[in-house]
Amino acid sequence: MTRTAILFPALAALFLLSCATSGGAPSAGAGKLLETNPPSKPEWLSITGYARKGGEWYFVGESSRSRTEEDARNKAILNGLSQISHQFGVKVSSELISQEREANGVYSYDIGVKNKLTGAPIRIRDYKLESAYIEKWDRGDIEFDAKVLIRVPDEEIARIRKEIDALCAWAVIASSGDLAGDAMRLAKEFAQVKKINLKPDADPVNGHYTAETLAQKAPDAAFFLVIKIKSETPKNVDGEWYATVAVEVEYLSLTENKVVRAYSGSARGAAYSDKEAVRNAFLKAFDEIMTQ
């Protein structure tokens, strides 16, 4: 998995920005250096914390005093990925970051923050171990120190930032334009109750939306709330109007391209005008959703 990184002849030409971050490995202590792999030090060892270039983030992780080379490398990877937490104001030691094997066999790493909507841990999924440098030491016992270079694309950092901010775009799709005002007011009340970080204004969306088309409409949002209202034609019985309205609410994750939660309600309303009958039915249906 590792390979020697020969990035460019001059390190300054490679990295546009290099910044120090906290969370490095503890001091290795005195001893006798027996060998290194690779034999010569790669230029990226001079990076402190992370660097950026051409749509990629480079993080350097380190570890010391491990009993095996594999353990040293794995701890350095965890330490390097923990540097990402600092980009979002999250301070977490590498020991607190858990890993999980995805369906494709690649590990993802928990950065110590939970999704505000689903409660699931936010994970680093798209990364690559670019290079590793291992030192073998004699400190009374044989020990291994490691440094690794991890590459993460801008898109992955942007995805994580979206999930942390949890900004939610929204839209109302109604068969009756008379309900739009009430629907928008109730959408904001619904967001307050469910603790959703709703954008100030709704986006225009038609009934043929997909998670992909919603993501295009709201590129800065991690989630989309869609409120769909369907009302039957009101009926007049002995001078009184009756109407039935169904309401569906969908939470969609734009970073995972799926519906993460759905609500539905249906009610019948009555009034002395057809519009008021529809409105009463809608308010009752939305009350059902508010309590779910």
Tens of pLDDT, residue by residue over 212-246, are 999 999 998 999 999 999 999 999 999 999 999 99
**Coil vs helix vs strand at 26:** coil
Report domain extents, the chain: 11-163, 166-290
What confidence score (pLDDT) does residue 158 get?
Answer: 85
What confidence score (pLDDT) does residue 17 get?
Answer: 45
Q: Percentage of the chain surpassing pLDDT 70?
A: 82
Task: Reply yes or no on whether the pLDDT at 117 is more than 80.
Answer: no
Look at 12-16, 33-37, 258-262, 268-272 and tell me which has the smallest mean pLDDT: 12-16
Specify whether the backbone of 239 is left (phi greater than 0), alpha (psi in -120 to 50) or beta: left
Dist CA 260 CA 90 (whole Å): 25
Nearest one of 159, 193, 160, 186 to 172, comparing CA atoms: 186
Task: Reply yes or no on whether the pLDDT at 264 is more than 90.
Answer: yes
Return the CATH number of the domain spanning residue range 166-290. 3.40.50.10610
* 197-226 average pLDDT score: 92
What confidence score (pLDDT) does residue 180 get?
Answer: 84
73-116 pLDDT tens trace: 989 988 888 877 777 665 544 444 566 766 666 677 777 777 76
124-177 pLDDT tens trace: 888 899 999 999 999 999 999 999 999 999 999 888 888 888 899 999 998 877
| Cβ neighbours for 192, distance < 8 A, ≥ 6 positions apart | none
Question: Strands (DSSP E) along 139-257, which ranges?
Answer: 142-153, 167-174, 197-198, 223-231, 235-237, 240-253
* 194-211 average pLDDT score: 91
Task: Reply yes or no on whether the pLDDT at 262 is more than 60.
Answer: yes
What confidence score (pLDDT) does residue 104 get?
Answer: 66
Task: Reply yes or no on whether the pLDDT at 1 is more than 70.
Answer: no
Q: Percentage of the chain surpassing pLDDT 90?
A: 57
What confidence score (pLDDT) does residue 3 get?
Answer: 36
Dmax over CA atoms of the chain, in Å, equals 99
* 242-261 average pLDDT score: 92
Look at 78-92, 179-193, 227-241, 274-288 and tell me which has the smallest mean pLDDT: 78-92
Q: Taking each helix axis as running N to C, give the angle between helix 180-194 and helix 274-290, from 0 to 180 degrees, rounded to the nearest 10.
A: 10
Assigned token pair, 252:
């969609």
What confidence score (pLDDT) does residue 110 get?
Answer: 76
What confidence score (pLDDT) does residue 266 get?
Answer: 97
Higher per-residue pLDDT: 5 or 260: 260
Task: Reply yes or no on whether the pLDDT at 280 is more than 60.
Answer: yes
For the chain, the average pLDDT equals 84
Higher per-residue pLDDT: 190 or 163: 190
What confidence score (pLDDT) does residue 246 get?
Answer: 96
